[in-house]
């Protein structure tokens, strides 16, 4: 074992041998924690005891109710009561919990069709198509849009589903530094001059792939410049709004609205229903011809079971509230509450002296802890103080940039946020994190 440790680097990358056995087990109690409640503003964790070596867990039989700062419940729709629940329960009674068939066969219900019309109307595109899983929405549809002979330009921090989708396309992939428009332009310019590898022929298509809000950084895409470059170089834009649809922009229409851009300048609008809608699945909204092609060729349409009908109903109800089509201002109030809560939490963490990444408008607030061991300790200590948090580190972030990633919700009350901030301040003191804080 000692011999193996000498070759730290290769063993570290040999995830199974070094990381799993020697490092991951020391922090693994912070992950895969079972919960036994709705992931709302609060949640209930099942307490576990680990053996001395950190290999096995046994439930202690105790439960711990915590304020939930880890779920993507941005607008507070992940509730089992409240404005969406009754209609969703009715949908279970009418349609059951599974489509039992692919969309192309017998899995398309009237709910799916209504949902697609509503999504297209909400984001301002001609048509939309929905899928049972957000991850698969990216990974199985990108190969329908581009293929060999195309150039795909991808932000280095794009989500794993976009990376997988890009690899499945067969296109030439070039990665640009996160939000670095000079680098993107340099790649566009040189690639266009050189053409396709070996043949030098012109690219069939150039697709720039970006996200609205980057979930590890809380940063926003520089959309106005992406659009400027797309126009200058004749490219197309694929925008993943998983963390921005519903959450950003005065009416929740995402980063396009936030920046005041024209939705016609974004060719492919992708998003998920797992965050602001408190549901599951994903969508692509675009021109009708593109959506028709996805319906005909997407693996997720033909070879995967359709989105569960009650899930479609949950999204329809949430969407009606967000867009105000329910005739109330409840949606607007939730959007405003999210913006208020996010700004409050971010500014308070900054005032404590923490380095906080990301944009002020982001509902994700990444607070830098740096030290991987302190990251895990922070997670445990916050849990003891009744706050469930998500901590992230290598390989999701650079090894020296471990961080706590707080997800803010419209459902959090000011008292709940104050409790969390007080707990964070206390833990920072106990962990010696204050030494690394920047002093004003
Ligand atoms: N895109 C982005 C940017 C994401 O962050 C995620 C997951 N959080 C996905 C796609 C995949 O979506 P889902 O979890 O709904 O499958």
pLDDT at 189 over 90: yes
pLDDT band at 266 (very low <50, low <70, confident <90, very high): very high
Please give the number of the atom of ligand 1 that sits closest to the Cα of 136: 16
Sheet containing 57-68, strands listed edge to edge, beginning at the edge strand earlier in sequence: 42-50, 57-68, 387-388
Decide: 138 in ligand 1 pocket, CB within 6 A: yes
Cα-to-centroid distance, 351 and ligand 1 (Å): 31
Would you state the pLDDT for residue 165?
A: 98
Query: Which residue puts its alpha carbon closest to atom 13 of ligand 1?
Result: 134
Would you state the pLDDT for residue 132?
A: 97
pLDDT at 429 over 50: yes
pLDDT at 13 over 70: no
Would you state the pLDDT for residue 399?
A: 81
pLDDT, tens digit (0-9, with 9 covering 90-100), for 90-114 = 999 999 999 999 999 999 999 999 9
Cα-to-centroid distance, 34 and ligand 1 (Å): 21
Decide: 215 in ligand 1 pocket, CB within 6 A: yes
Would you state the pLDDT for residue 55?
A: 76
Residue 259 and residue 224 in contact, taking contact as beta carbons nearer than 8 Å: yes
Decide: 405 in ligand 1 pocket, CB within 6 A: no
Decide: 346 in ligand 1 pocket, CB within 6 A: no
Please give the number of the atom of ligand 1 that sits closest to the Cα of 211: 3
Decide: 254 in ligand 1 pocket, CB within 6 A: no
Decide: 406 in ligand 1 pocket, CB within 6 A: no
Decide: 274 in ligand 1 pocket, CB within 6 A: yes
Residue 364 and residue 215 in contact, taking contact as beta carbons nearer than 8 Å: yes
DSSP 151-178: EEEEETT--HHHHHHHHHH-SEEEEE-T
Residues composing the chain: 440
Would you state the pLDDT for residue 169?
A: 98
pLDDT band at 210 (very low <50, low <70, confident <90, very high): very high
Would you state the pLDDT for residue 3?
A: 59
Mean pLDDT computed over 183-201: 96
pLDDT, tens digit (0-9, with 9 covering 90-100), for 332-343 = 999 999 999 999
User: Which of residues 41 and 54 earns the better pLDDT score?
Assistant: 41
Q: Which residues make Cβ contacts (< 8 Å) with residue 262, sequence separation at least 6? A: 227, 256
Decide: 242 in ligand 1 pocket, CB within 6 A: yes
Would you state the pLDDT for residue 305?
A: 96
Mean pLDDT computed over 356-377: 94
pLDDT, tens digit (0-9, with 9 covering 90-100), for 234-261 = 999 999 999 999 999 999 999 999 999 9
Would you state the pLDDT for residue 263?
A: 98
Decide: 71 in ligand 1 pocket, CB within 6 A: no
Phi-psi domain of 4 (left: phi exceeds 0; alpha: psi -120 through 50; beta: other):
alpha
Decide: 241 in ligand 1 pocket, CB within 6 A: no
Decide: 139 in ligand 1 pocket, CB within 6 A: no
Would you state the pLDDT for residue 226?
A: 98
Cα-to-centroid distance, 170 and ligand 1 (Å): 22
Decide: 240 in ligand 1 pocket, CB within 6 A: yes
In the chain, the percentage of residues whose pLDDT exceeds 70 is 93
All domains of the chain in start order, with CATH? 25-68+332-436 (3.90.1150.10), 85-323 (3.40.640.10)
Query: Which residue puts its alpha carbon closest to atom 11 of ligand 1?
Result: 135
Cα-to-centroid distance, 327 and ligand 1 (Å): 30
Considering the chain, what is the average pLDDT of its residues? Answer: 93
Q: Which residues of 139-178 are buried (b: 16+ CB within 10 A; e: fewer)?
A: bbbbbbbbeeebbbbbbebbbebbbebbebbebbbbbbeb
Cα-to-centroid distance, 242 and ligand 1 (Å): 6
State phi, psi for 386 to the nearest 5 degrees.
80, 30
Query: Which residue puts its alpha carbon closest to atom 1 of ligand 1?
Result: 242
How do strand 206-211 and strand 151-155 relate by DSSP bridges? parallel
Say how far apart CA 220 and CA 127 lie, in whole Å: 25
DSSP 294-305: HHHH-HHHHSSB
Decide: 165 in ligand 1 pocket, CB within 6 A: no
Cα-to-centroid distance, 352 and ligand 1 (Å): 31
> Maximum distance among all alpha carbons in the chain?
69
User: Which of residues 10 and 353 earns the better pLDDT score?
Assistant: 353
Would you state the pLDDT for residue 436?
A: 53
pLDDT band at 16 (very low <50, low <70, confident <90, very high): low
Please give the number of the atom of ligand 1 that sits closest to the Cα of 274: 15
Mean pLDDT computed over 332-361: 96
**Taking the mean position of all CA atoms in its chain, how far away is CA 144?**
22
Decide: 134 in ligand 1 pocket, CB within 6 A: yes
Would you state the pLDDT for residue 175?
A: 98
Mean pLDDT computed over 22-48: 88
Decide: 267 in ligand 1 pocket, CB within 6 A: no
pLDDT band at 440 (very low <50, low <70, confident <90, very high): very low
pLDDT, tens digit (0-9, with 9 covering 90-100), for 112-156 = 999 999 999 999 999 999 999 999 999 999 999 999 999 999 999
pLDDT at 191 over 60: yes
């Amino acid at each position: 074992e000692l011999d193996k440790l000498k070759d730290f680097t290769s063993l570290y990358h040999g995830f199974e041998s070094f990381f799993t056995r020697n490092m991951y087990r020391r922090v693994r109690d912070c992950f895969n924690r079972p919960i036994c409640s709705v992931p709302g503003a609060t949640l209930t964790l099942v307490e576990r005891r680990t053996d001395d070596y950190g290999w096995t867990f046994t439930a202690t039989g105790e439960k711990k109710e915590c304020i939930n700062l880890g779920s993507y419940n941005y607008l507070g729709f992940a509730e089992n009561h409240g404005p969406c629940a009754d209609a969703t329960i009715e949908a279970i009674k009418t349609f059951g919990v599974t489509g039992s068939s692919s969309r192309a066969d017998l899995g398309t219900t009237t709910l799916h069709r209504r949902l697609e019309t509503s999504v297209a109307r909400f984001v301002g595109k001609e048509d939309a198509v929905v899928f049972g899983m957000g991850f698969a929405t990216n990974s199985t549809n990108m190969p329908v849009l581009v293929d060999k002979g195309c150039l795909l330009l991808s932000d280095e921090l794009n989500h794993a589903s976009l990376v997988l989708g890009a690899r499945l396309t067969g296109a030439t992939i070039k990665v640009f530094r996160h939000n670095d428009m000079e680098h993107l332009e340099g790649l566009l310019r040189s690639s266009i001059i050189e053409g396709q590898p070996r043949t030098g022929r012109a690219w069939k298509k150039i697709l720039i792939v970006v996200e609205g809000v980057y979930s590890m950084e809380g940063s926003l895409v520089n959309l106005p410049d992406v659009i400027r470059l797309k126009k200058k170089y004749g490219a197309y834009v694929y925008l993943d709004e998983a963390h921005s649809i519903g959450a950003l922009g005065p009416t929740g229409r995402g980063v396009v609205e936030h920046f005041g851009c024209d939705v016609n300048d974004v060719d492919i609008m992708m998003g998920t229903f797992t965050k602001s809608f408190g549901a599951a699945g994903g969508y692509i909204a675009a021109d009708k011809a593109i959506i028709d092609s996805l319906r005909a060729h997407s693996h997720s349409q033909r070879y995967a079971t359709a989105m569960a009908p009650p899930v479609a109903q949950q999204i329809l109800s949430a969407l009606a509230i967000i867009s105000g089509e329910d005739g109330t201002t409840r949606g607007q109030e939730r959007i405003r509450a999210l913006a208020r809560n996010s700004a409050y939490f971010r500014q308070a963490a900054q005032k404590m002296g923490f380095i906080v990444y990301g944009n002020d408008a982001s509902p994700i607030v990444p607070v830098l802890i740096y030290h991987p061991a302190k990251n895990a300790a922070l997670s445990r200590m916050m849990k003891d103080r009744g706050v469930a948090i998500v901590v992230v580190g290598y390989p999701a972030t650079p090894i020296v940039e471990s961080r706590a990633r707080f997800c803010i919700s419209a459902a959090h009350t000011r008292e709940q946020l104050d409790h969390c901030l007080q707990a964070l301040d206390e833990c920072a003191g106990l962990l010696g994190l204050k030494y690394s804080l920047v002093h004003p």
